[in-house]
Structure 1
Amino acid sequence: MGYSQKTFSDNASTIGLVGIIGSLSAITLTTARDGIIKRGEDQNKHMNEMNTKILETISGQLADIQSQLDLSNPNGSLFQMNKKIDGVEASLNKKIDGVETRLTQKIDGVEMRLIHAIQINTQKIEQNGDDIKKFKFNKENSEELFLGQQVNLIRGPHDLQLNGHIRPTNLVGHIFRVESWKRVWGLIILL
């Protein structure tokens, strides 16, 4: 079996063509692989940039939150809230103190008026005490009564006629003011 010149030439052309196709395929595959790698790297870079931005945003927000919650920051929300609470508390304390002061003043005023009234009544009682005459109802001392005098009945052997009515001697110990009087058979008649 022999190969003809033409067959050999065809085979060589075929082999050459296969080689060229193989080379082109290798170049294409390499290029495709490089493209895929490049796209992967680009995507990784993009993802890294996105992650960095997200982390920066989160860090910024956390820093802002920490700043708002920091009591040493006069512009922070917590500081401002505490300031408002302190202001409300101070205002309430001031109002409570004012109410307590007014109540104390009113109580003191009432106490002073009561003390004054008691002192006046005590003075009146002391002054009137000198005018109260204690005596026994009998014929001998009944004439000692005088108009306007207060009488404290200690003991009365006779019934007492008061305002036209006969009263038994159980009125002993009571104080009467003599408006007018006269003695009838040893009885004192208070009219």
Structure 2
Amino acid sequence: MLKDAGRDAVVTDLLTPVVVRGFVGPSHTVTQEVKLTLKFETDVGSLVLANVKCWLSVGNLPTGVGDILLSRPIMHRLGYDPQSMLREAAAVCSEYDMEDVESTSGVVRAVMLATKQELVDDLAAEEEALVPMELAACFPDMTPVDPAVEQAKVQAVLDARVAEALVAGCGAEFALGLSKLLA
């Protein structure tokens, strides 16, 4: 793209490839980087960022996220610090109603697309039967129980095991000690 625009850029190979993945779409393997001088036109004039290291990706980024994504350290250098901004907003007001705020930026669209994609069920037929068990294991139903009743159930099982040990030839003295230990 740069060469097509008549720009010469020195491209260097990374020591090891880096796999990057966005909110949606396939992952991209980055094997090269280039230093660029970026110029942005704003309503108050031009903004030039010199010597910005850019990774080169083969293939297209997800639709709507743009061709260049600036890293957090670069945005921080430009004065954009999300934590400071949130702290300042909290100092002004502890709660904001965002119902009337519309955002159609590329990142928001990518997140919305990712959310829609996550809801698509692509399970194999064999996996369908496992879903209820997975849900029960990960999100068990919490029902109130009486601790005394539950302890009595456990104690009954332990007493039964001590009785089994007696039948199997365990000495009475040992069984009594074990019973006291398990009580």
**TM score, norm. by length of structure 2:** 0.16
Structure ID, larger Rg: 1
- Flag the structure with higher helix content: 1
Larger relative contact order (CA 8 Å, sep ≥ 6)? 2
**TM score, norm. by length of structure 1:** 0.15
- Flag the structure with higher strand content: 2
